[in-house]
Every structure is written in structure tokens, then in C-alpha cells.
């Protein structure tokens, strides 16, 4: 018979945490839905609203720098990066997505601070709308929940 395994898992509990949310102004009609979902998620899981700091950046390309800076301050238990890159007719779509993704991951790994990845990378505006609070859920909520879970797992290691 199989022995009981030791499982370490994170609770979705935001009580007492300090969180920085970094959100782009580019595509703000989409990104504001991600921000709204993320804030609602954090509040429903017990955060004290004044313990959330919202930082606005121009676009996805700027997300890594701000995530890095905020993580290095060590004032926050977690950081949430929110934005939307929409291919449309943007020829540099792939470059922006690659740099933003790589840079956000690097900010997390270099600092050890969990960073929730809530950057939509979509071919069309319709796809972005679907992921910003309609058919395909809300990526801001998912990223906030993932960040919370990661913070709580790390605490136990
Ligand atoms: N920034 C985005 O966040 N989303 C986009 O869809 C986008 N497009 O399509 O160009 C975008 N570009 C701006 C970029 O992130 C920088 O802010 C800009 O190049 C200035 O550094």
C-alpha cells in the first residue's frame, strides 16, 4: 500500500500581504479589466486594500524594469504584472512578447519575489476580450491567484 506523501501546497490567502500591481496603459480598455479582476481577487482573499500599490507603465516592454525595481525594494510579498499585447498589425509583436516574458521571469528569479504573469499575448482584440473577463475567464484573476499560491508555498519551504 502506498505511504502518505508529504504535500506542500499554498492557500489562497492574501491576509497581511503587501502586493504591487504593475499594469500597462497600452490597451487600457482590456488591461483595466485585468486590474479590476486582480484587485477583486486579492480583496476577496483577505488583503487590506491600502496594502496594494498600483503602478502604471506605458506598455508591456516596460513591465520587466518596474517588476525588477519593485522586487528589489523587498517591500512587497508579491508582484503582479498585467498587460495586453495584441498582434493586430504590429510587426514587433513577437519581440515585445519575448522581451516582456523573459524580463518578468528574470525579475522573479533574480529577486526571489513571486511575480504573477498576467500578460495577454493575443492575435486579435476578440481573443483579448475573451481573456479579460468574458468567455475565457479573466487572466488578471488567474495571475493574482497564482501569485498568492506561490507566496504561500514559498513560505513553507
Ligand atoms: N505595448 C503593449 O503593452 N501592447 C501592445 O499591443 C503594444 N503594441 O502593439 O505595440 C505595445 N507597444 C508598446 C511597447 O510596449 C512600449 O511601451 C513602447 O515601444 C515604448 O517603449
The model's pLDDT over 74-84, given as tens digits with 9 standing for 90+, comes to: 999 999 999 99
pLDDT digits (tens, 9 = 90+) for 15-64: 999 999 999 999 999 999 999 999 999 999 999 999 999 999 999 999 99
Atom 7 in ligand 1: residue holding the nearest Cα: 85
Atom 17 in ligand 1: residue holding the nearest Cα: 59
Q: Note the pLDDT of residue 88.
A: 84
* Grid cell locating 16: 497581511
Domains in the chain, CATH or no CATH each: 87-157 (3.40.50.960)
Relative to beta strand 78-86, strand 115-122 is: parallel
Q: How many residues does the chain have?
A: 157
- In this prediction the pTM is 0.96
Q: Note the pLDDT of residue 135.
A: 87
Residue 99 Cα to ligand 1 middle (Å): 11
Atom 5 in ligand 1: residue holding the nearest Cα: 85
- Phi first, then psi, for residue 127 (nearest 5°) are -65, -40
* Grid cell locating 30: 482590456
Q: Which of 25, 44, 75, 92 is catalytic?
A: 92
Number of the ligand 1 atom closest to the C-alpha atom of 90: 9
pLDDT digits (tens, 9 = 90+) for 85-123: 999 878 899 999 999 999 999 999 999 999 999 999 999
DSSP structure string for 114-143:
-EEEEEEEESSHHHHHHTEEETTEEHHHHH
The pLDDT of residue 148 is above 90: yes
100 is in an annotated binding site: no
92 is catalytic: yes
Q: Note the pLDDT of residue 157.
A: 95
From 27, 57, 61, mutation site for ligand 1 pocket: most ligand atoms within 8 A of C-beta? 61
Q: Note the pLDDT of residue 100.
A: 98
Q: Note the pLDDT of residue 35.
A: 98
Question: From the CB of 124, is ligand 1 less than 6 Å away?
Answer: no
Question: From the CB of 96, is ligand 1 less than 6 Å away?
Answer: yes
Alpha helices in the chain (DSSP H): 28-44, 63-73, 93-111, 125-130, 139-154
Amino acid at each position: 500500500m502506498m505511504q502518505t506523501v508529504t504535500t506542500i501546497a499554498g492557500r489562497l490567502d492574501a491576509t497581511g500581504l503587501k502586493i504591487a500591481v504593475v499594469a500597462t496603459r497600452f490597451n487600457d480598455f482590456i488591461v483595466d479589466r485585468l486590474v479590476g479582476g486582480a484587485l477583486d481577487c486579492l480583496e476577496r482573499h483577505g488583503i487590506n486594500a491600502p496594502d496594494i500599490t498600483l503602478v502604471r507603465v506605458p506598455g508591456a516592454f516596460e513591465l520587466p524594469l518596474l517588476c525588477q525595481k519593485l522586487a528589489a525594494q523587498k517591500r512587497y510579498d508579491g508582484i503582479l504584472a498585467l498587460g495586453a499585447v495584441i498582434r493586430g498589425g504590429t510587426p514587433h509583436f513577437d519581440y515585445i512578447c519575448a522581451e516582456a516574458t523573459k524580463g518578468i521571469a528574470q525579475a522573479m528569479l533574480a529577486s526571489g519575489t513571486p511575480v504573477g504573469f498576467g500578460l495577454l499575448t493575443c492575435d486579435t482584440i476578440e481573443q483579448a476580450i475573451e481573456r479579460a473577463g468574458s468567455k475565457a475567464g479573466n487572466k488578471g484573476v488567474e495571475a493574482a491567484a497564482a501569485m498568492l499560491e506561490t507566496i504561500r508555498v514559498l513560505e513553507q519551504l
